[in-house]
Amino acid sequence: MPVIPTDPRLTRVYMDANATTPLLPQVVQAMHPYWMEHFGNASSIHLHGQQARRGVDQARETLAEFFNCHDAEVVFNSGGTEGDNTAIFGLLRPGDHFITTAIEHSAVLQAAQRVAERGVEVTYVAPLASGLIDPAAIREALRPQTRLISVMLANNETGVIQPVEQIGKIAAEVGAFFHIDAVQAAGKICIDVRKIGCHLLSISGHKMHAPKGIGAMYVRRGTPVESLLVGGSHERRRRAGTENVAGIVGMGKAAELAMKSLEDGTIERVAALRDRLEREILQLPGSGVNGMGCDGNPVARAANTTNIWFDHVEGEALVIALDLKGVAVSGGSACHSGATEPSHVLMAMGLDKTRARASLRFSLLKTATDADVDHVLSVVPQAVQHLRSVSPVEAGTRG
The pLDDT profile of the chain, 399 residues, written as one tens digit per residue, is: 445 555 667 889 999 999 999 999 999 999 999 998 899 888 788 998 888 889 999 999 999 999 999 999 999 999 999 999 999 999 999 999 999 999 999 999 999 999 999 999 999 999 999 999 999 999 999 999 999 999 999 999 999 999 999 999 999 999 999 999 999 999 999 999 999 999 999 999 999 999 999 999 999 999 999 988 888 767 777 886 889 999 999 999 999 999 999 999 999 999 999 999 999 999 999 999 999 888 888 899 999 999 999 999 999 999 999 999 999 999 865 454 455 689 999 999 999 999 999 999 999 999 999 999 999 999 999 999 999 998 654 444 433
CATH code of the domain containing 201: 3.40.640.10
Entry field: residues in the chain: 399
User: What pLDDT is attached to residue 4?
Assistant: 53
Please identify, among 236, 261, 286, the residue that sits at the C-terminal boundary of a domain. Answer: 261
Both 192 and 332 in one domain: the answer is: no
Sequence letter at residue 39: F
> For residue 333, what is the DSSP state?
-
Cβ atoms of 16 and 363 within 8 Å: the answer is yes
Please identify, among 245, 261, 277, the residue that sits at the C-terminal boundary of a domain. Answer: 261
Count of structural domains within the chain: 2
Task: Tell me the residue range of the domain where 354 lies.
Answer: 13-22+265-390
Both 77 and 190 in one domain: the answer is: yes
Cα–Cα distance for residue pair 133/128, rounded to 1 Å: 6
Rounded to two decimals, the pTM is: 0.92
Cα–Cα distance for residue pair 252/66, rounded to 1 Å: 9
Cβ atoms of 386 and 312 within 8 Å: the answer is no
> Which of 190, 198, 294, 335 is an active site residue?
335
> For residue 265, what is the DSSP state?
S
Both 95 and 220 in one domain: the answer is: yes
β-bridge partners, 203: 216
The question of whether 198 is a catalytic residue gets the answer no
Q: How many helices (H) and strands (E) does the chain have?
A: 14, 12
Q: In the Cβ-directed half-sphere of 323, how many Cα atoms lie within 13 Å?
A: 16
β-bridge partners, 204: 215
Contacts by 108-112 with C-beta closer than 8 Å and gap 24+?
Answer: 108/84, 108/150, 108/152, 108/181, 109/344, 111/84, 111/85, 112/88
